[in-house]
């Protein structure tokens, strides 16, 4: 049995824990969080113990760190002693945004460290998780990570230098997609459709369109052209989006997320 300690059980930490719980591996969870109520809810859902940060470090075979970047230094101050006295091998998995493997090694020590950038849909098996490993991570440990997160959606090892660029699509993209769904629904409500139906239709349309692109491998422009009949309603909607700079706005949003990380 593998003991997995999670320091930080917010939205992403909880999503990763749920994905691991669905992996089929035999796991024991230790949950540590600044707000004990969040850790308690997750322990009740998945089974596991509520512990403090120091105990999570002491007992975990795999330690998952999911705190916000601005809280990392203070959290590390509290567990420094435990990190320094570790005698057995411990894999550290970091979800901390903006902290690369080199920085993490300086902060956490030279043991095996895996950096992951997951996204929220991971909680329902539709996520995208990018990861890279420090040289100390063995092939067996990487294989175990792939099993632990294998049910979460797309899992891709990516050169760390490309992670921040990809995160503008994978990590920030769900917010942009949610805004698009909301805007589609608002338009339909303005035309008389009840909101619950409008939201459901818009979300299912987005899900189905994305699945079609994944299954066919077609360029998005091909799908757009298939829907746009000559003199039809869709091409008029496309015209209005182009007039409003839709594609440029989306590109700018992704670029802005990347520049924020630099």
Distances (CA, A) of 231 to 187, 206, 236: 21, 24, 8
**Residue 34: strand, helix, or coil:** coil
Q: What is the set of domains in the chain, with CATH numbers? A: 2-163 (3.40.50.720), 173-261 (1.10.3730.10)
pTM above 0.95, yes or no: no
pLDDT digits (tens, 9 = 90+) for 155-190: 999 999 999 899 999 999 999 999 999 999 999 999
Tokens representing 235 are 């091409």
- Chain segment 128-148, per-residue pLDDT in tens: 999 999 999 999 999 999 999
Q: Are strands 127-133 and 113-117 parallel, antiparallel or unpaired?
A: antiparallel
3-state helix, strand, coil in the chain (%, to 5): 60, 15, 25
Please answer whether residues 163 and 99 qualify as being in contact, where contact means their C-beta atoms are separated by less than 8 angstroms: no
């Amino acid at each position: 049995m593998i003991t997995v300690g999670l320091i930080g059980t917010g939205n992403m930490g909880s999503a990763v824990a749920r994905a691991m719980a669905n992996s089929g591996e035999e796991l024991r969870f230790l949950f540590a969080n600044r707000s004990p109520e969040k850790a308690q809810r997750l322990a009740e859902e998945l089974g596991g113990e509520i512990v403090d940060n120091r105990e999570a470090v002491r007992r975990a075979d795999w330690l998952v760190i999911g705190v916000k970047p601005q809280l990392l230094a203070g959290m590390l101050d509290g567990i420094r002693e435990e990190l320094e006295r570790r005698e057995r091998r411990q894999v550290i998995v970091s979800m901390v945004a903006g902290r690369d493997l080199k920085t993490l090694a300086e902060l956490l020590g030279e043991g095996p460290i895996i950096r992951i950038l997951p996204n929220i849909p991971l909680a329902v098996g539709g996520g995208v998780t990018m990861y890279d490993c420090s040289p100390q991570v063995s092939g067996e440990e990487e294989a175990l990570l792939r099993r632990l997160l294998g049910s979460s959606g797309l899992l891709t090892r990516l050169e760390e230098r490309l992670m921040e660029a990809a995160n503008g699509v994978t990590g920030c993209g769900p917010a942009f997609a949610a805004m698009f769904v909301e805007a589609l629904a608002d338009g339909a409500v303005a035309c008389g459709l009840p909101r619950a139906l409008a939201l459901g239709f818009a979300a299912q349309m987005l899900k189905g369109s994305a699945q079609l692109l994944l299954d066919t491998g077609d360029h998005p422009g091909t799908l757009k052209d298939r829907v746009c009949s000559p003199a039809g309603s869709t091409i008029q909607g496309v015209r209005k989006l182009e007039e409003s700079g839709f594609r440029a706005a989306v590109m700018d949003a992704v670029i802005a997320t990347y520049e924020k990380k630099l």
